[in-house]
Amino acid sequence: MSISLVSRNSVTLQNIIAYLTISPGATVKAVGSTPALGHKGDFSKSDLKYKVISADGRNQQEWQLVIESFNK
């Protein structure tokens, strides 16, 4: 599939959709003003955090998303 130059140039960190693959049954929740995964959001911010919760709910860990580079 080829993406036109016009479409490619319109993509920025302020209007992308992010996704994550995790273990079955586990959940991920955005923390604070971090954009929800699977929805268009502003990923240009420096404080992007997600909480991952195990399927049984006993284990939780907060992760920070760091975007080191962005290539179109």
Q: Where are the domains of the chain?
A: 5-65
Q: How confident is the model at residue 70 (pLDDT cuts 50, 70, 90)?
A: confident
Whether 1 has a pLDDT exceeding 80, the answer reads no
Q: Which CATH class is domain 5-65?
A: mainly beta
The model scores a pTM over 0.85: no
Residue 46, classified by CB atoms within 10 Å of its CB into exposed (0-12), middle (13-18) or buried (19+), is exposed
The predicted pLDDT at position 44 comes to 93
12-44 confidence digits (pLDDT tens): 999 999 999 999 999 999 999 999 999 999 999
pLDDT of residue 5: 81
